[in-house]
Structure 1
Amino acid sequence: MRATLRWAHADFRAHRGEALSVVLASAGIIASLLLAGALFSYAANPWQRIFNQSHGAHIWLHTRAGADADALAGLDGVAALSGPYRTAATTVEAHGARAGVTLRAAATAPPETGRPLVTSGGWLTRPEAGTRTRTRTGTDAGAGTGAVVLEASVARALWAEPGDTVRVTGPDGAPHALRVSGIAEVAEPRYHPGGASGIGWVLDADLDEIAHGATGQSVGLRLADPDDTDFIVQRAVTVLGADRVAQVTKWQQARAEAGGDDRLLGQVFAVFGLGALLAAALAAAGAIGARVRGQLRDIAILKAVGFTPGQVARGFLVQHLAFALLGVTLGTTAIALLGARIPGRIGEAAAVWQDLPGHTGLMIGVPCGAVLLIAAATGLSAWRAGRVPPVPVARAALPSAAPMTALSRRALGMRVPPALVLGWRAAFPRRGRTLVPVARLALPLVLITVALVAWSTLDQFRSRPAQMGLPAALTVRTEQPAGAADAELEKVLAAVPDVAEVHPGAEVAALVPGQTGTITLRGLGTAGSPYPSTVVEGRPLEGPDEAVAGQGLLDLLGVRVGAWVRMTVEGRPQILHLVGRSIEPESGGRVITTTLDALRERDPALRPDFHALVLHKGADPRAVSAALATAAGGTLEVRETPNPADRLEPARAVIAALIAVLALIGLTELLTLISTGVRDRGRDLLALKAIGLTPRQIGSVIVTAAGLTALASAVVGTVLGVLSGSWLVDAQGASSGIGAGIARFPSAPVLSVVVAGAVLGAVLAALVPATRTARRRLADSLSDTL
């Protein structure tokens, strides 16, 4: 053992550069994996992230005015209070949309507990006397216009942005103008049309002007132990009095509401996580294997002087385990101390990660798993090292590259640059030696392309919603009773600029066969003008009693396109022929869509509940919404069609950061491949220099070989990434009920940038070793022949 340790120490002193590269590669891989874990936790736990960042309250009590909320601070188990805040129930209107909002009176400084996280604009400030506010459209909002901060889901429903002016109607019915100063996120239940009201924050003076004393009260309780929620709620209600508590909101409700987003994002990023782990494993194994192969001559000499195979294997294990522990420690320490200082979303994710669930487990599990992985890779390489024969010249007797082919000789005869011909020969020597490096380098590029497919799919939901199951941009409901005015309303809607089509619609709840579940039956459009559903399987509606259904409904009923479905609506049967499968983003895909005329066959008195508006290409839904409000005299309730991309918006920035992490892993793999190739082709380069190639040509051979290897890997990686990415996105769409057929390929320029970036990175990474190798003298390279 002593001899083994002495040899390991001597080997380390003789190959400090190689040892440093292994340590840095291990540190880089660990840092990449930890950053990937931080990004996954950041994206897949949006509610938990917001709760931790805002120091959120576990319980929100909404009481009547006069309740002694300050007494709750003395309850055992209550760590902090948020508020109490005076509140008022109001209606907020903007761009033709309307939403119920509970305004809270707040100070100019956000609270410490239950703090709204301002994502756009700024917090409330007290206006200077005599100032006037000017809106983004250039109209004067008037003197004394107050400010409001809207919760993000309310702002999306109203299309409100910082700088807009909204109309607020208080309990007395009087309108007031407020300027939107900011958009904020909170760890509380989101706003839903027809459901819970949204949240807004205003200054005390503004709330007094709007509510005139008709206010309630809200207070948030942050608990020392979240598991005591139910018990604390009982005690709080007892302290305040049951007659004074109007509503109680628990943190479990808000988390459960965001659970669908967590599951969807978690599934998507779990795939990326496994792929990144595999890529990192191959990179670590490659770096260790390359170093072992580079010391075959030293190993042979050790065997010749009496070292046993076991001693050689133990020496490599001791060395590389020490390198692995050092690299893992450096990578983990760097992320723990400096991760939060990385600019952009990666640094933000690293800063928030330490407060998210699973942080400790990943910070311990990832490094330990990496050490075990490196130990396994080292053990395999050490076992191979122990089998090296004690004959130093055996390495020189083996050809290091493929023989010159007739095509290569013909190319040289045609005066093709020698660097290109010899670089091709070095990049693709033999089938087995070509596939391994190409496959290893292609794996990170496959994952990068898969991420780009997910990005392109999200962009399609934004830029071309009609192709993703969202032809109608707006949904209009009227406060007037339906009846003879339906035709007149349709004429008013169709006359608004940028409105291309108006489709009357109605939705009813229907019982599936066996009456074991409820689905949504939607009548939309007429027989003469059917709704343009996005049909990806089968055909659109053409005749009576025909319908299209989402993937979730087909899975629920266990039927396929072409089947006849009998359902029960209000006690009467409705039989429809499923002629197509549509992309259906709403209700988990458990929606069947037919024409309004088909529903009227069952109920002739059925009238439209709403109208779906299809806009001209390039039309601004906000401008159309405002025009609708003006044309109808404020009697319409206009809603924007919900877009799944809103729920997945956090994934966009995380995908971009993930691409950067995968690029780092790919760069580590690339550096290993280049250094291995230069060392393995040392005798070839010596021969080329001996026959008269200049140093510049020698360096060009190395750079060309690296570029061609990267080019082959990039082409293979992008092709496989596009295919696997489209399959993954479609499979996720099918499992979520939206349905397959939503995946979109990245554009050709984007894929070209990926390929060009890989080749350019390989060329730049090969410049330093190429320059160093080209400057070596013949005498310096004689040892490579042994």
Structure 2
Amino acid sequence: MRAAARWTRAHLRAHRAAAVLIVLATAGITVSLLLSTALFAYATDPWQRVFTRSAGAHVWIHTRADAPAASLARLDEVRAASGPFRTVRTTASLELGGSKATLELRGAPERPAVAAPQVVAGRWLDAARDAGTGKGISQGIVLDGAVARAMWAKPGDSIALSGFAAPLRVVGVAETAEPGFRAGETPGAAWVLPGTLAAAHAGGDLRGRTIGLRLADPDDTDYVVQRAVTRLGADQITDVSTWRQAKAEAAGDNQLLGRLLVLFGLGALGAAALAVGGAITTRVRGHLRDIAVLKAVGFTPGQVVRMFLALHLGFALLGGTLGALFTEALGPLAPGRIGEALGLWQDLPEHAWLPWVIPAGVVIFIGSATWLAAWRAGRVPPVPVARAAAHPGRRSLGTTRRALGLRIPPALVLGWRAAFHRPLRAAAAVARLAVPLLLITVALGTWATLDRFTAHPENVGLPAALTARSDSLGERELRHLLTAQPGVTAYPGAEVQALVPGQTGTITLRGLGTDAHPYPFTLVEGRAAHGPDEAIAGQGLLDLLDARVGDWVRMTVAGQPHVLHIVGRSIEPADGGRVISTALDTLGDGATQLHPDFYNLVLRHGTDPAAVRDALTDASAGRLEVREIPNPADQLPAVRAVVIGLIAVLVLIGLAELSTTVAAGVRDRGRDLLALRAVGLTPRQIAAVIVTATVFITLAAVLPATALGVSAAEWLINLQGSTSGWGTGLAQRPALSTLALVGAAAVAVAGAVSLLPAVRAVRRKLVDSASGVG
């Protein structure tokens, strides 16, 4: 034990920098994996918690007012039902200003037992306090949390509703496990007493029923929807939503960030394992005499293996522990979504064991990857065998002589020979260094794609920056107001929910632009829709219908069939890509008779959306509601910080690998010092040989890593776009100047890291160099 401890201390003194780099890299990997776990929990568990506590419904079916929705509760697959509730569609706005929102008011005499809204502010409805008398006493309303946040409403505020003679007072805010409110697309849920609902002045087309079905088996969702359509009739069902849609909406953006962290965390873990394994292998080759001495004084092969493993497992254990402690102590203090995710994760049951299991897994993985290299140390014989000098072939010697004869600097010629005269070792060093460089290139591709979303949203399915609508302005007056604004092009639009073939769910059927003035969709396949019945679709819709460009698809809107020819595919960030778009003229014909419900505003490049919004609001005297269309990049501000942190971890791993490569080069050149000086090389030239050899190894890693990294980034980002329903075509390659700068920086760092060890090596005494042979 004393000999092992002395050897360990000597080893640590000789390789301090490499040890620190490995510990820091392991800590960074642990932090990355813990953050990814927390973000996945943040993405799904809040919804799951609400769904479980509220005994949430797996299917929500919205019907016409005269449909027998209550009969759906008697389906064999239904365990319990919430409702049916009588509903009224209405537009709400705060009396003291604020944004408008479309609400689905539900008449509820009491808080339902199934799919029960979870009150997070205020209280639930009370018939004795919230019924109202029509004599100035406000009637009560409970808002869904998503719509309350969109309207900036809180308990105590008064809300004016279209179709109601008097405003309603917000008495509570509740969270549900249903698909959330989305302005212009999905109305927000709100609950009132049945008497309040009955007093609404609303036409039959605004009245309906809503029922939530909790199933015995959640996998029966599509089958139950089919049975509901069969029982009630397709013309009686206006909308269908499922628990899968709600969960996907709640998870979307955070899952992207979580997947990014998992990808880079696992990639960095593999790179760290390769770096540690290479370091052990190199040190075993460089300490054959020391290992032989240990064997001679009585160390068994197993003891030698365990000594090497214990040392590097200690590095991994220290790094994993530091990473876990850092995440637990400082993670919840991080700004934005990461801090919120870690704060929530610490309240979940799995947090009791995952923060220890993940670092333990990192330690075990690194230990497994380094066992083979340590095993080689155990096989070193107790009496070192004299190794024959490695004689390069005649071809190599002839090439070297000819290169020197051409007056090429000796440092370049001998540095090239030193780097690659052992091809297997050189290939291993290049591969280990290429892995972190490849991942850095993938991270740069992610950064470039985010920049594309921010700087050129029109290339990723977001040509319009604003959407405008008004309930009080006439269509002609509204159009004149929009076209009079400089730098603005307005496109009329309307959206309806349509039942898909098989009638297992709903999609968004959108009319946008006209035949004479087509909307500038971002097409990545096929062509734009020109003639009647032509449409373009998002990837999510093509996947849902198992269709492709060129197919005809049939859908049902309010019992009326629509058959459209898909002639192109666009990048579609809305509704998970489950959108089919055509000209408003196409939807204006036939039974549906859609009229413009909103206008998408495409701004001239460089125009400030906020300034246009304020100008339109002032010009309309507040009668025009103008909203900015959300950009997904705005919802991922933490990604850039994550990319920087991951690049820092990968740089640490690369530096650890460079230190190993430099140590091997210094050791090999140390054996050749006598020969190099004998042929006339100065100490400066010998140091240049060592530095040049390291630079050549790095350059050989940079070129393939950059090429493969660009392709991998494009593939991974497009794969994420395809699985999310947006479609391929999102990826943006990093600029060539950026890639060249990264490659040059890697080469420059390699030269700088190897310079000091090279200078130290050539300053050693000749007798020291000679004694190092063995």
What TM-score does the superposition give when structure 1 sets the normalisation length?
0.70
1:736: how far off? 0.6
User: Aligned runs of 1:363-762 on 2, under 5 Å?
Assistant: 363-388=355-380, 392=384, 394-399=386-391, 404-480=396-472, 485-499=474-488, 501-603=489-591, 605-762=593-750
Aligned to 2:169: none
Single out whichever of 490-499 and 375-384 deviates more from structure 2.
Answer: 375-384
User: Aligned runs of 1:216-365 on 2, under 5 Å?
Assistant: 258-300=250-292, 312-335=300-323, 353=342, 356=346, 361-365=353-357
1:723: how far off? 0.5
CA shift in 2, pair 1:623/1:706, >3 Å? same
CA shift in 2, pair 1:759/1:23, >3 Å? closer
1:507: how far off? 0.9
Single out whichever of 274-283 and 375-384 deviates more from structure 2.
Answer: 375-384
Q: Give 3-state SS (helix, strand or coil) of 1:638's partner.
A: strand
User: Aligned runs of 1:84-95 on 2, under 5 Å?
Assistant: 90=94
The amino acid of 1:545's aligned partner reads D
1:549: how far off? 0.2
The amino acid of 2:484's aligned partner reads A
1:610: how far off? 0.9
For residues 10-64 of structure 1, the C-alpha deviation after alignment (integer angstroms, 9 at most, x for no partner) is 644654534656654552333122222244245545579999xxxxxx99xxxxx
CA shift in 2, pair 1:369/1:517, >3 Å? closer
The amino acid of 1:510's aligned partner reads A
1:486: how far off? 2.6
The amino acid of 2:418's aligned partner reads A
Q: Give 3-state SS (helix, strand or coil) of 1:673's partner.
A: helix
Aligned to 2:32: 36
CA shift in 2, pair 1:656/1:386, >3 Å? closer
1:661: how far off? 1.4
CA distance in 2, matches of 1:607, 1:374: 63
CA shift in 2, pair 1:92/1:32, >3 Å? farther
Aligned to 1:180: none
Aligned to 2:74: none
The amino acid of 1:372's aligned partner reads I
The yes-or-no answer on 1:776 pairing with 2:764 is yes
CA shift in 2, pair 1:15/1:507, >3 Å? closer
1:295: how far off? 1.7
The amino acid of 2:419's aligned partner reads A
Aligned to 1:178: none
CA distance in 2, matches of 1:705, 1:584: 50
Q: Give 3-state SS (helix, strand or coil) of 2:387's partner.
A: helix
CA distance in 2, matches of 1:562, 1:432: 52
CA shift in 2, pair 1:353/1:564, >3 Å? closer
Aligned to 1:193: 183
CA distance in 1, matches of 2:96, 2:633: 25
CA distance in 2, matches of 1:155, 1:455: 34
Give structure 2 stretches of 5+ with no counterpart: 48-52, 55-91, 104-119, 122-144, 162-173, 191-244
The amino acid of 1:719's aligned partner reads A
The amino acid of 2:481's aligned partner reads V
1:491: how far off? 2.8
Kept in 2, the 8 Å contact 1:98–1:638? The answer is no
Count of matched residue positions in the alignment of Structure 1 and Structure 2:
618
CA distance in 1, matches of 2:701, 2:333: 29
For residues 236-285 of structure 1, the C-alpha deviation after alignment (integer angstroms, 9 at most, x for no partner) is xxxxxxxxxxxxxxxxx999863233333323322222211111111121
Q: Give 3-state SS (helix, strand or coil) of 2:550's partner.
A: coil
CA distance in 1, matches of 2:337, 2:510: 43
CA shift in 2, pair 1:735/1:713, >3 Å? same
Give structure 1 stretches of 5+ with no counterpart: 52-57, 60-87, 102-113, 116-151, 161-167, 174-185, 199-252
Kept in 2, the 8 Å contact 1:562–1:578? The answer is yes
The yes-or-no answer on 1:17 pairing with 2:21 is no
User: Aligned runs of 1:83-232 on 2, under 5 Å?
Assistant: 90=94, 192-193=182-183, 195-196=187-188
CA distance in 1, matches of 2:354, 2:629: 39
CA distance in 2, matches of 1:338, 1:17: 26
CA distance in 2, matches of 1:400, 1:387: 27
CA shift in 2, pair 1:193/1:597, >3 Å? closer
Kept in 1, the 8 Å contact 2:499–2:556? The answer is yes
For residues 679-737 of structure 1, the C-alpha deviation after alignment (integer angstroms, 9 at most, x for no partner) is 23332344212322222212222222222222221222221111011101101110010
The amino acid of 2:426's aligned partner reads T
CA distance in 1, matches of 2:542, 2:282: 53
Q: Give 3-state SS (helix, strand or coil) of 2:752's partner.
A: helix
Kept in 2, the 8 Å contact 1:438–1:709? The answer is yes
Kept in 2, the 8 Å contact 1:506–1:608? The answer is yes
Kept in 2, the 8 Å contact 1:446–1:718? The answer is yes
Kept in 2, the 8 Å contact 1:25–1:287? The answer is no
CA distance in 2, matches of 1:264, 1:98: 30
CA shift in 2, pair 1:695/1:728, >3 Å? same
1:299: how far off? 4.0
Kept in 2, the 8 Å contact 1:44–1:261? The answer is no
Aligned to 2:87: none
1:402: how far off? 9.9
1:337: how far off? 5.5
CA shift in 2, pair 1:517/1:351, >3 Å? closer
The amino acid of 2:428's aligned partner reads V
CA shift in 2, pair 1:100/1:170, >3 Å? farther
The amino acid of 2:667's aligned partner reads R
Q: What's the % identity of the aligned pairs?
A: 50
Q: Give 3-state SS (helix, strand or coil) of 1:395's partner.
A: coil
Q: Give 3-state SS (helix, strand or coil) of 2:672's partner.
A: helix
Kept in 1, the 8 Å contact 2:461–2:570? The answer is yes
The amino acid of 2:264's aligned partner reads F
The amino acid of 1:654's aligned partner reads V
Q: Give 3-state SS (helix, strand or coil) of 1:681's partner.
A: helix
Single out whichever of 355-364 and 426-435 deviates more from structure 2.
Answer: 355-364
CA distance in 2, matches of 1:450, 1:281: 19
The amino acid of 1:8's aligned partner reads A
The amino acid of 1:420's aligned partner reads L
CA distance in 2, matches of 1:555, 1:404: 57
For residues 481-529 of structure 1, the C-alpha deviation after alignment (integer angstroms, 9 at most, x for no partner) is 7xxx434422321110110x22111111212122222111111111111
Q: Give 3-state SS (helix, strand or coil) of 2:655's partner.
A: helix
1:325: how far off? 4.4
Q: Give 3-state SS (helix, strand or coil) of 1:642's partner.
A: coil
CA distance in 2, matches of 1:299, 1:264: 49
Give RMSD over aligned pairs: 4.0
CA distance in 1, matches of 2:354, 2:439: 21
CA shift in 2, pair 1:765/1:50, >3 Å? farther
CA shift in 2, pair 1:521/1:89, >3 Å? closer
Kept in 2, the 8 Å contact 1:522–1:591? The answer is yes
CA distance in 1, matches of 2:36, 2:149: 25
The amino acid of 1:664's aligned partner reads L
CA distance in 1, matches of 2:494, 2:338: 44
Kept in 2, the 8 Å contact 1:43–1:650? The answer is no
